[in-house]
């Protein structure tokens, strides 16, 4: 079973105070980049894997999704999501993404934000999603960028040019990373970009676009201190892939 | 016109002494990974962009390529390549890859090893290659990995875990990098992985596989010191893409 840190009271309290939790999508630096990779939503049967407080699922419903199946492992987050909206198009469901099996060809679009790096088995989840999508369907997801996630603890180091560089290590050593983030012992899984893209291709997906997130010029103007950090190394990776029409695989 | 460092006498002398120059493909750490992404060669019309001393073109001819058009900007390297072999299947030609235009649908396979990072315009070269390939044709190329190439000068930095980490900076700041490598003022172009893959997709290619090079277990056993460097950050990126059948774009 996937680790359920979000139901840890200390983690839940800490995470609930983050801008992305309090402000929703507008408190999420990478949201505009994520949205830019989404196909049209109206009329679609959408699945969200790792819905958290439900911000994205509510946006999808507001965009006219036919229905949104919103899965999460955390009872606390699902309770908060249900309390925030009674939109009949959204069905919040508790599930362990390590074992969840969706109905074949039941979804036009699967989305997942900053969730899949908690799963040990990327092959299983991508194969399952491919089966769950109709031919012509889309998967759009974000994860921590492997440059950022290669070391368990992000670290800045002074470099010879007088600036702080980002320390990368163990990029090619895939596997669990135990980190103390809000609470001790949070486990995420580091996978290289090549592994993710090749696994998606092996599952039958074709790549539409990838985004190694960097702030827009407007975001840099509003947050001048981001130039020294967010242009140095990408924190988020956003991937948009497609299940081709007319092929079973 | 592309920079022609290889005809600089000091650069040529220095480069000629590298293992990959003296020993050919077997002196090239990433060769086995590159070869693994190549389609069958026999009977193919192949183009090599940046053939250097001709090691790869000679291997392609030995594998049974129908013909190999081997392009390079350096007269010195072409002269050495011609002197090394008189294989009638190989046609060594001088060309500036910044402006070269190959005949449409004239090639079954285009290969390029550690060359495209010298070109300022990645869109032009990939679009030209796509046009030059027959539908069903393949492009396999290597470049310096953008993690490695983001900073002009590679730098190791001591990290808090007592190991040396690799300093990454300016990953999201694309453009020229001026470096002093063998001689002063060598210019390479840093592009993110997302830019390369999205540009290839925009040109009409579908991605077959990417490889962020790391040594094999056999290479690590033969070169134990590589564990501390080559698993820390990938030095090479190898990309295999395909011009799909039955589409003009």
Digits of tens for pLDDT over chain B (249 positions)?
A: 678 888 888 888 888 888 888 888 988 999 999 999 999 999 999 999 999 999 999 999 999 999 999 999 999 999 999 999 889 999 999 999 999 999 999 999 999 999 999 999 999 999 999 999 999 999 999 999 999 999 988 999 999 999 999 999 999 999 999 988 777 888 999 999 999 999 999 999 999 999 999 999 999 999 999 999 999 999 999 999 999 997 544
Strands B45-49 and B67-72, bridge-based pairing = parallel
Share of chain A above pLDDT 90, in %: 82
Residue A76, pLDDT > 90, answer: yes
3-state secondary structure of A143: strand
Note whether A41 and A63 are within 8 A (CB). yes
The residue among A36, A153, A193, A236 with the most chain B CBs within 10 A of its CB, best to mutate, is A193
The answer to whether residue A227 neighbours chain B at the CB level (below 8 Å) is no
The answer to whether residue B99 neighbours chain A at the CB level (below 8 Å) is no
Task: Give the mean pLDDT of A57-69.
Answer: 98
The answer to whether residue B246 neighbours chain A at the CB level (below 8 Å) is no
Cα–Cα distance for residue pair B38/B49, rounded to 1 Å: 15
Cα–Cα distance for residue pair A147/A81, rounded to 1 Å: 31
CB contacts of A206 in chain B (<8 Å) are 206-207
Share of chain B above pLDDT 70, in %: 98
**Residue of A16, A144, A18, A126 lying closest to A74 (CA atoms):** A16
**From start to end of A25-128, where are the E strands?**
45-49, 67-72, 90-94, 107-113
Model confidence at A96, in pLDDT bands (50, 70, 90)? very high
Q: Do A166 and B168 touch (CB under 8 A)?
A: yes
The residue among B152, B178, B194, B245 with the most chain A CBs within 10 A of its CB, best to mutate, is B194
Q: In chain B, which residue's Cα lies nearest the Cα of A199?
A: B209
Task: Give the mean pLDDT of A136-162.
Answer: 95
Q: Do A170 and B232 touch (CB under 8 A)?
A: yes
Note whether B2 and B73 are within 8 A (CB). yes
- A-contacting residues in B 135-164 (Cβ below 8 Å): 147, 151, 153, 155, 157-161, 163
Q: In chain A, which residue's Cα lies nearest the Cα of B204?
A: A208
CB contacts of B169 in chain A (<8 Å) are 159, 161, 163, 165-166, 232-233
The answer to whether residue A233 neighbours chain B at the CB level (below 8 Å) is yes
Q: Do A167 and B172 touch (CB under 8 A)?
A: no
Q: Do B155 and A158 touch (CB under 8 A)?
A: no
Cα dihedral B213, B218, B223, B224 sign:
positive
Q: Do B230 and A160 touch (CB under 8 A)?
A: no
Q: Is B155 exposed, middle or buried (0-12, 13-18, 19+ CB in 10 A)?
A: middle
Beta bridge partners of A140: A111, A240
Q: How far is B19 from chain A (nearest CA, A)?
A: 24
Cα–Cα distance for residue pair A31/B98, rounded to 1 Å: 37
Model confidence at A181, in pLDDT bands (50, 70, 90)? confident
Cα–Cα distance for residue pair B72/A196, rounded to 1 Å: 34
Q: Is A90 exposed, middle or buried (0-12, 13-18, 19+ CB in 10 A)?
A: buried
Task: Give the mean pLDDT of A166-182.
Answer: 92
pLDDT attached to residue A247: 52
Long-range contacts of A219-224 (CB under 8 A, 24+ apart): A219/A29
Q: Do A155 and B168 touch (CB under 8 A)?
A: no
pLDDT attached to residue A248: 46
Q: In chain B, which residue's Cα lies nearest the Cα of A198?
A: B209
Tokens of A178: 């135990």
Helix (H) or strand (E) holding A185: strand A183-190
Of A155, A201, A232, Cβ closest to residue B171: A232
Note whether A196 and B194 are within 8 A (CB). no
Q: How far is B87 from chain A (nearest CA, A)?
A: 36
CB contacts of B157 in chain A (<8 Å) are 157-159, 165, 167
CB contacts of A168 in chain B (<8 Å) are 147, 165-168, 232-233
Q: In chain A, which residue's Cα lies nearest the Cα of B200?
A: A209
Map out the domains of chain A with their CATH numbers: 5-242 (3.40.50.150)
Cα–Cα distance for residue pair A144/B98, rounded to 1 Å: 36
Q: How far is B135 from chain A (nearest CA, A)?
A: 17
3-state secondary structure of A220: helix
Note whether B111 and B141 are within 8 A (CB). yes
Q: How far is A127 from chain B (nearest CA, A)?
A: 17
Cα–Cα distance for residue pair B98/B11, rounded to 1 Å: 21
pLDDT attached to residue B249: 44
């Amino acid at each position: 079973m996937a680790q359920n840190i979000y139901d840890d009271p200390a983690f839940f309290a800490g995470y609930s105070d983050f801008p992305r939790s309090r402000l929703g999508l507008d408190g999420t630096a990478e949201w505009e980049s994520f949205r830019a990779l989404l196909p049209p939503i109206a009329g679609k049967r959408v699945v969200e894997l790792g819905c958290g407080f439900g911000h994205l699922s509510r946006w999808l419903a507001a965009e006219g999704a036919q229905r949104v199946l919103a899965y999460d492992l955390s009872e606390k987050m699902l309770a908060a999501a249900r309390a925030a909206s009674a939109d009949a198009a959204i069905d919040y469901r508790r599930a362990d993404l390590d074992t969840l099996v969706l109905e074949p060809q039941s979804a036009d679009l699967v989305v997942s934000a900053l969730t899949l790096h908690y799963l040990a088995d990327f092959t299983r989840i991508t194969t399952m999603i491919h089966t769950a999508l109709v031919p012509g369907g889309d998967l759009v997801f974000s994860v921590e960028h492997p440059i950022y996630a290669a070391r368990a603890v992000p670290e800045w180091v002074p470099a010879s040019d007088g600036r702080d560089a980002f320390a990368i290590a163990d990029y090619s050593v895939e596997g669990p990373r135990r980190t103390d983030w809000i609470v001790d012992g949070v486990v995420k899984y580091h996978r290289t970009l090549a592994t993710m893209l090749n696994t998606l291709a092996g599952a039958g997906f074709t790549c539409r676009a990838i985004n190694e997130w960097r702030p827009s010029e407007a975001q840099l103007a509003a947050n001048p201190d981001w130039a020294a950090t967010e242009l140095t190394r990408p924190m988020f990776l956003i991937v948009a892939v497609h299940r081709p029409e007319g092929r079973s695989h």
